[in-house]
């Protein structure tokens, strides 16, 4: 199994999902890949005040989050499943969180006129894994739980696809549970995968209520990819340090909930030999439903089956 390192150059970044470009790297199942990322807004630097945008952006190809990719996975075929294991996720030295600047439901329903627009500057320490900001001179310190917000592949349709929504094949999932040690499983929509990853988050709450987490570049992301040839799934799922997760994505939060629950019933059947009614009855006591995010147009819900819940 090989270890690959992606260079910090213009050609390593893309702001969309597409299979109509040359991959930046070809890997085999079982290989690991290491790379740095820009923040989602294509920035880098030692602090938010010193943030620069080192690379230019193509008008159509780079309209979204700064992603590393696409990565071509040999022998991966449409209909199989891709496993992405996060071996290491180390944030850079700064982060930022905005609120009040987007014409979205928060401003319309919550009447945030007193803020107009606010940007929190965060100083991140990846040794102590803490982040600190100030509001009106008062310091706030949080423990960091870094993860990648966007992990996915282009849908089978040709063309250039936006990075903003989550899809059945991944994308802007924004799930705070996908920390170091997690394995994310994605249905493969196109031969070769054309996998891209970006949108580093140092910390996020469920829902991502302001539209942003602590957005940050990543000093190191280390992943291992595996192709599961005999596994077929309809929507993403994950095995995290805290539990198994299934996802649902839809403009309607109720429909997203049904998708997440549907995936969990299937998973509980696979893991414990239960039919769907049995899984529903047992799951009502042990499965948690959480709002992943509500800010990307297509909303996300995830169901969690904690590890060790059955004694």
**Ramachandran angles phi, psi of 48, nearest 5°:** -65, -30
Report pLDDT for 292.
97
Report pLDDT for 113.
55
Contacts of 84 (CB under 8 A, 6+ apart): 151, 183, 184, 185, 186, 195, 197, 223, 224, 225
Report pLDDT for 125.
97
- For the stretch 187-215, pLDDT in tens is 999 999 999 999 999 999 999 988 899 99
Burial class (CB in 10 A: 0-12, 13-18, 19+), 229: middle
Rounded Cα distance between 52 and 290, Å, is: 35
- For the stretch 121-159, pLDDT in tens is 999 999 999 999 999 999 999 999 999 999 999 999 889
Which of the four CATH numbers 3.30.43.10, 3.40.50.2000, 3.40.50.300, 2.60.120.580 does domain 3-97+142-230 have? 2.60.120.580
pTM recorded for the entire structure? 0.94
Report pLDDT for 242.
96
For the four alpha carbons of 87, 92, 94 and 100, in that order, the dihedral sign comes to negative
Question: How is domain 242-306 classified at the CATH fold level?
Answer: Endonuclease I-creI (3.10.28)
Helices (H) and strands (E) in the chain, counts: 3, 20
Domain boundaries of the chain, sorted by first residue? 3-97+142-230, 242-306
| Under 8 Å between Cβ of 242 and 178 | no
Please, what are the averages of pLDDT over each run of 10 residues along the chain (311 residues)?
95 96 97 97 85 90 95 96 98 90 53 66 96 95 98 93 96 97 98 97 94 95 97 96 97 96 97 96 97 93 96 85
Rounded Cα distance between 50 and 201, Å, is: 19
Q: Which two tokens stand for residue 2?
A: 């090989």
Three-point CA angle 125, 8, 127, nearest 5°: 15
Report pLDDT for 4.
98
Rounded Cα distance between 111 and 218, Å, is: 34
Report pLDDT for 201.
98
């Amino acid at each position: 199994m090989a270890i690959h390192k992606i260079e910090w150059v213009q050609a390593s970044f893309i702001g969309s999902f597409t299979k109509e470009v040359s991959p930046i790297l070809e890997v085999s199942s079982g290989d690991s890949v290491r790379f740095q990322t820009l923040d989602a807004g294509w920035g880098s630097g030692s602090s938010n005040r010193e943030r620069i945008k080192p690379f230019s952006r193509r008008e159509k190809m780079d309209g979204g989050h700064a992603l590393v990719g696409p990565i071509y996975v040999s022998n991966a075929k449409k209909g199989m499943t891709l496993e992405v294991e996060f071996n290491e996720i180390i944030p850079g030295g700064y982060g930022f969180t905005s609120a009040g600047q987007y014409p979205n439901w928060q401003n319309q329903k919550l009447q945030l006129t007193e803020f107009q627009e606010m940007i929190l500057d965060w100083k991140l320490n990846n040794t102590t894994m803490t982040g600190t900001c100030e509001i009106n001179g008062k310091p706030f310190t949080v423990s960091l739980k870094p993860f990648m917000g966007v992990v996915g592949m282009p849908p089978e349709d040709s063309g250039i696809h936006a990075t903003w929504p989550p899809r059945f094949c991944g994308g802007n999932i924004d799930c705070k549970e996908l920390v170091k040690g997690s394995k994310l499983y994605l249905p493969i929509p196109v031969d070769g995968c054309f996998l891209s990853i970006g949108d580093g988050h140092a910390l996020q709450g469920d829902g991502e209520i302001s539209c942003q987490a602590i957005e940050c570049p990543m000093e190191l992301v280390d992943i291992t990819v595996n192709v599961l040839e005999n596994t077929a799934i309809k929507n993403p799922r994950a095995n995290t340090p805290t539990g198994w997760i299934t996802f649902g994505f839809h403009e309607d939060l109720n429909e997203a909930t049904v998708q997440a629950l549907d995936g969990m019933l299937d998973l509980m059947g696979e893991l414990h030999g239960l039919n769907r009614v049995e899984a529903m009855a047992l799951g009502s006591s042990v499965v948690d439903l959480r709002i992943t995010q509500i800010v990307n147009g297509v909303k996300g819900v995830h169901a969690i089956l904690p590890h060790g819940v059955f004694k």
